[in-house]
Amino acid sequence: MGDTNSSNELTRLLNSLQEDDEAAKKIFPLVYNELHALAHRKMRKERNGHTLNTTALVHEAYLKLVDYPPENNWDGRNHFFGIAARAMRQILVNYARSRNAQKRSGNKNIQPFQEEIYLTEEKAGELVHLEEALTELEKLNERLGKVVECRYFAGYNIEETAEILGISSATVKRDWTSARAWLYNYMHPGE
């Protein structure tokens, strides 16, 4: 996911965001390609009828990350991309909730999402239900929730997820299997 020098430089820049107004401009080129790939991998899995401007998702997530850094210092590249996965999850879920609220209010003239991310009405409902289930799962086992966040919302593979979370690939595989089973049972009771 990156060499040591660029990882160290990224960490240094991330931790200087509060004091250095230019840091955000320097960080963007270091992370843009990986953030764009992350967004693209996630959206490639979506079904037909789902349109996404991955560039807009990247920009929105990036702004969230640099405008609201963690209370403690960034702990390197993996920490940054783990938080990026969460930011993308929040952006997509917030948009889905907004679509559902507009649909329930009878507003058929749904305004486009300002960052040009579009979800079908069906997908928006599924995403909101998944978010509810994932929130419950995180209450039971936070790590399982982080694995789902990395795998589903960010599109990371097993090895990338293991690196980001600092756990073994075997643990990610077990957690991914467990989390999917738990989420399926939660979302489809009685099946």
Note the Cα 136 to chain centre separation in Å.
17
Please state which of the ranges 46-50, 65-69, 158-162, 172-176 shows the lowest mean pLDDT. 46-50
Q: Are 138 and 175 in contact (CB under 8 A)?
A: no
pLDDT recorded at residue 92? 78
**164: which residues sit within 8 A by CB, 6+ positions away?**
1, 78, 81, 82, 85, 150, 156
Q: What is the pLDDT of residues 136-176, one digit of tens each?
A: 999 999 999 999 988 887 778 899 899 889 999 999 999 99
pLDDT at 51 over 60: no
Query: Would you place residue 189 in the very low, low, confident or very high pLDDT band (cuts 50, 70, 90)?
Result: confident
pLDDT recorded at residue 47? 43
Query: Would you place residue 13 in the very low, low, confident or very high pLDDT band (cuts 50, 70, 90)?
Result: confident
**61: which residues sit within 8 A by CB, 6+ positions away?**
35, 39, 84, 87, 88, 91
pLDDT recorded at residue 64? 82
pTM for the model stands at 0.64
pLDDT recorded at residue 123? 64
Query: Would you place residue 179 in the very low, low, confident or very high pLDDT band (cuts 50, 70, 90)?
Result: very high
In degrees rounded to 5, what are phi and psi of residue 89?
Answer: -60, -50
pLDDT recorded at residue 124? 66
Domain boundaries, the chain: 4-187
